[in-house]
Amino acid sequence: MSFRSLEGKRVVLGVTGSIAAYKAAELASSLAALKADVHVAMTPSAVHFVGPATFRALTGHTPMTGVFDEIEERTVAHVAVVENADLLVIAPATGNIIGKIANGIADEIVSTLAMAAPCPVLLVPAMNTHMWTNPIVIANVDRLRNMGYHFVDPVEGRLACGYEGVGKMAPVERILEAVERLLLGAAQHDWEDVPVLITAGPTREPIDPVRYLSNYSTGSMGFAIAAAAQERGAEVTLVTGPTEMQPPDVARLVRVQTASEMLEAVRNHFGSCRVLISAAAVSDFSPVKSPRKLKKPQQEGERRTLELHQTPDILAEMGRQKQNQILVGFALETEDLVANARQKLEGKNLDMIVANSAGEGEQPFGPGPSKVRFLTRGGEDHPLPLMSKQEIAEHLLTFIRERFLQRG
């Protein structure tokens, strides 16, 4: 895999105390080979794993190992270095450094740099599976993702402790891909002027004037696809249900509440789109809406029944209408993933479907990582490892481009 030159870019590489610290040397070496100006900072525990001399030899700069290092008179090193940095990468990032950054603690050089950094921050976690799946670590990672910190998620493999599971630091190539994207933007404008319609988020079906039926979708998958498509040159129309997440900057944004409103918006833009990517978690039912607020039951234990009617299947309707459009759906399944997803692929007349398993350690909703596979009408089954929604979005766009948009 080849990467573009990073000449003129300053990358600060924070190394923390995980056994994966030795791989940070390979990362520093690759970044330097791509002509980035690399400055390394090491926590006291990282120094136990790799010697600063290694990084000095690879980058040409003496690593910062203490908050009180000074590079110039009256200038504290960490402020001077991050002030002019284009990117701070922390690889490997331990559960400890993630916890400190998420909670505003700066008590050694790497966490201090993270607090002072005005540039984007990319975290590359590496830790034992039990640490990675600890609810406190999950909450800290979610918090940082929501605040705009970037992640290259760990992969499955044999860990230093002898345990098999998720927690191994992502391969250096995956880290370089993310660094390149953050520093230089999309690799190519391979979606230049392709009109793409994307649905995202949940829908809200009113029960009465003050209540609604919905689901846990946050819009993060659809938003990641919309952001990546826009960056790669596509002309994006994003139809989103209500969510607290900030939608990306796209050519056209349509906000809707209910499944019927989403259908209306999709109908309006379907005729002029080339690709429809349906990432919305559309509610399958809508209550028969009461014009007045439903009263609280009068007697304890009294039951209420909500009458539900089926909402329109937006994607299936577009499947019936499609002319030359490429239709991409999502299928979230807890069991028989491939068989159920294939059934939807056929039943809704789609070209491909992203099958998303809702198993342990996977977070189909929210900004966390997911494990998906791409299934095509032609019978292809392309599984991906556990990866962030941004990475899935990039892979999906490349896949659609190569399989369906090459001709014309």
Query: Which residues are catalytically annotated?
Result: 161
| 330 touches ligand C5P (CB under 6 A) | yes
| 329 touches ligand C5P (CB under 6 A) | yes
Binding region for ligand C5P (CB under 6 A) out of 8-16, 25-33, 112-120, 276-284? 276-284
Site for ligand C5P in 283-312 (CB under 6 A): 284, 311
Which residue's CB is nearer to ligand C5P, number 176 or number 318?
A: 318
Minimum CB distance to ligand C5P, residue 245 (Å): 17
What's the rounded Cα separation, in Å, for the pair 215 and 132?
Answer: 26
| 326 touches ligand C5P (CB under 6 A) | no
Taking the CB of residue 309, how many other CB atoms lie within 10 A of it? 9
* Amino acid identity, position 345: L
- Indicate which single residue of 38, 166, 227, 314 sits in contact with ligand C5P (rule: CB under 6 A): 314
> Do the Cβ atoms of 120 and 147 come closer than 8 Å?
no
Q: How far are the Cα atoms of 124, 126, 131 from residue 165, in angstroms, in the given order?
A: 16, 12, 11
What's the rounded Cα separation, in Å, for the pair 274 and 236?
Answer: 11
What's the rounded Cα separation, in Å, for the pair 156 and 167?
Answer: 6
- Indicate which single residue of 114, 315, 327, 392 sits in contact with ligand C5P (rule: CB under 6 A): 315
- Indicate which single residue of 230, 240, 278, 388 sits in contact with ligand C5P (rule: CB under 6 A): 278
Minimum CB distance to ligand C5P, residue 373 (Å): 15
What is the distance in angstroms between the CA of the first residue and the CA of the last residue of the chain? 27
| 282 touches ligand C5P (CB under 6 A) | yes
Task: Read off φ and ψ for residue 394, nearest 5 degrees.
Answer: -65, -45
Site for ligand C5P in 152-191 (CB under 6 A): none
Query: What residue ranges in 149-292 does DSSP mark as E strands?
Result: 150-151, 155-158, 164-168, 195-200, 205-208, 211-213, 235-240, 252-255, 275-278, 285-287
Which residue's CB is nearer to ligand C5P, number 43 or number 258?
A: 258
Q: How many of the chain's residues bind ligand C5P (CB under 6 A)?
A: 14
| 197 touches ligand C5P (CB under 6 A) | no
Q: Can you give the binding site for ligand C5P, defined by CB under 6 A?
A: 199, 259, 278, 280, 282, 284, 311, 313-315, 329-331, 344
